[in-house]
Amino acid sequence: MKQLNLQNPQKKLRNKFYKLGVKMIGPETIYFSKDTKIGKNVTIEPYVVFGKKVKIGNSVTIKSFSHLENCKIENKVDIGPYARIRPGAILKEGSKVGNFVEIKKSTLGKKSKVNHLTYIGDSVIGKSVNVGAGTITCNYDGVKKSKTKIKDNVFIGSNSSLVAPLTIEEGSVIGAGSVITKNVRKKSLALTRSLQTEIKNYRRKSK
């Protein structure tokens, strides 16, 4: 029985994008779907996987070990490394998604940043938002999924949990380590952190 050469379709797709001016580093490690669409001046690093229905704009950089499927990436977006862009994600112009970030069924606004170790699901994020490391949108309560809305110019401190349904209004700040369960008003500081306690001259018990 004749074996199928699965590499041939990939070689054709790589050659197609090479001719279109796509810069591929380690092209033999990059996998495309037959419906992948890529704009001009795009750089793709090794071990990137394109699932079905991916559309990439112009001047986009996709770093190593990122996985994209059924998503739309606008111009001047920076992705990865180790990013997962899941179905229904839209990354607006100039936005940035960093390492170990997962985005699902969400819109990331213009010039907004989600740089590290974060899960964004069922969310709409406005312009110029900074989402700190370790932030989670808690979109599923075990029965149904709910939406998180983050308006323009919001700053989310590291290690925050945003419990949906939730709206954070424009210009607000979420303190690091907070669990936010109620809507946050415009230009407000919201935090739910416990007060720090310090015991002077403390000695650990010995065995």
Give the burial string for 81-118 (b: 16+ CB within 10 Å, else e).
bbbbbbebbbbbbbbbbbbbbbbbbbbbbbbbbbbbbb
CATH architecture of 106-192: 3 Solenoid (2.160)
pLDDT at 70: 98
Show the DSSP H helices in the chain as ranges.
Answer: 7-19
- Over residues 150-179, the pLDDT tens digits come to 999 999 999 999 999 999 999 999 999 999
pLDDT digit string (tens) for 74-87?
A: 999 999 999 999 99
Q: Residue 206 is encoded by which pair of tokens?
A: 């010995």
Asked if 1-86 and 106-192 have one fold, the answer is yes
| Residue length of the chain | 207
171: left (phi over 0), alpha (psi -120 to 50) or beta: left
Task: Catalytic residue, from 53, 110, 116, 149: name it.
Answer: 116
Active-site residue, 116 included = yes
| pTM listed for this prediction | 0.92
Please state, as a whole number, how many other Cβ atoms lie within 10 Å of the Cβ of residue 40: 13
1-86 sits in which CATH class?
A: mainly beta
Domain assignments of the chain as residue spans, ordered by start? 1-86, 106-192
CA angle 122, 94, 37 (to 5 degrees): 75
Looking at residue 145, what DSSP letter applies?
B
